[in-house]
């Protein structure tokens, strides 16, 4: 998981028209909110900009960074705050004043609440290794407060990380084995709910870590040989990791940093290993 920033399109007729229609749909929902059964959410409307949101995450799941292949498994447009019913960390319905929470329907079309997600992260299920995962309508909070009004959302303290708003590096730890650990309670809950240590993910992240470390070593060797063309190739691979475009960028970036630190430590202990400069 990596922090992503979305540049809101300017002077884009398609985007402006979509925003206009989402505002109109939201007003209709507010008018019908006296009864949650009367609130109708247009699935096609919130999915309309899916290509734009998927592109912002480089075609990867916003949570686990699995590449979402066009076609069979393009993934879901996931609502960070559930648009319909809401459940807690144990999957139990959230109630308020004897009535179940009606969901964050007013955020159904809010782009800050829409994320591309793979089926394993979004839909509940059990993987081949027996690990149960899937966010679906789960939205655990720290103090068990769930707002039922738009103005009360700021009081909430979500336990899940939102890649639009949170920096996962503050909460998650990636090691060279491909396993993701946690720094905070929010990180721990996010790993558990989304199943971020699924076997297949661990294997793929480990491979991404190994490749990142190889690019760091190869870049350093190219510098030592003054091979500019090869250095440029490895710099491009590392830039892709830094920008979040590469597979499993969070784990790969952590591995690249560790590889660089090991190299720098080696040079400090053995100054003679530093490459000689070429006199101009």
Per domain, the residue ranges of the chain are 13-197, 201-273
pLDDT value of residue 224: 86
Most confident range, picked from 66-70, 87-91, 138-142, 259-263: 138-142
Report the pLDDT averaged over residues 229-237.
Answer: 94
Q: What is the pLDDT of residues 157-175, one digit of tens each?
A: 999 999 999 999 999 999 9
* Residue 71, pLDDT above cutoff 60: no
Mean pLDDT, rounded, of the chain: 89
Report the pLDDT averaged over residues 39-68.
Answer: 92
pLDDT value of residue 228: 93
Q: What is the pLDDT of residues 100-135, one digit of tens each?
A: 888 999 999 999 999 999 999 999 887 777 777 899
pLDDT value of residue 280: 40
**Could you give phi then psi for residue 174, rounded to 5 degrees?**
-115, 130
CA-derived radius of gyration, the chain:
22
Q: Are 124 and 101 in contact (CB under 8 A)?
A: no
pLDDT value of residue 5: 84
Tell me how far CA of residue 157 lies from CA of 39, 128, 143, 171, 247, in angstroms. Answer: 26, 33, 7, 15, 30
Contacts of 227 (CB under 8 A, 6+ apart): none
pLDDT value of residue 72: 46
pLDDT value of residue 262: 87
More reliable by pLDDT, 58 or 275: 58
pLDDT value of residue 186: 98
Taking residue 234's Cβ as centre, other Cβ atoms within 10 Å add up to 20
Distance CA 144, CA 96 (A): 11
């Amino acid at each position: 998981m990596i922090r992503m920033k979305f540049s809101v399109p300017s002077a884009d007729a398609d985007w402006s028209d979509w925003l206009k229609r989402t505002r109109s749909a939201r007003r209709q929902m507010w008018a019908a909110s006296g009864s949650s059964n009367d609130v109708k959410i247009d699935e096609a409307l919130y999915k309309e900009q899916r290509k734009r949101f998927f592109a912002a995450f480089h075609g990867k799941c916003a949570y686990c960074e699995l590449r979402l292949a066009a076609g069979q498994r393009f993934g879901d447009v996931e609502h960070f705050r559930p648009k319909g019913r809401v459940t807690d960390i144990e999957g139990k319905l959230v109630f308020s004043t004897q009535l179940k929470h009606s969901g964050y329907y007013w955020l159904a079309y809010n782009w800050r609440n829409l994320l591309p997600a793979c089926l394993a992260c979004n839909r509940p299920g059990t993987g081949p290794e027996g690990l149960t995962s899937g966010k679906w309508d789960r939205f655990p909070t720290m103090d068990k407060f769930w707002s039922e009004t738009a103005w009360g959302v700021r009081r909430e303290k979500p336990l899940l990380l939102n890649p639009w708003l949170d920096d996962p590096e503050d909460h998650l730890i990636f090691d060279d084995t491909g396993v993701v650990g946690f720094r905070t309670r929010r990180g721990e809950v996010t790993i558990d709910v989304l199943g971020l240590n699924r076997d297949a993910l661990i294997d793929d992240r480990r491979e991404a870590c190994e490749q990142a470390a190889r690019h760091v070593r190869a870049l350093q060797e190219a510098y030592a040989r003054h091979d500019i063309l090869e250095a440029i190739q490895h710099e491009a691979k590392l830039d892709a990791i830094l920008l979040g475009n590469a597979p499993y960028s969070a784990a790969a970036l952590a591995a690249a940093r560790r590889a660089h630190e090991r190299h720098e430590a080696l040079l400090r202990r053995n100054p003679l290993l530093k490459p000689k400069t070429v006199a101009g």
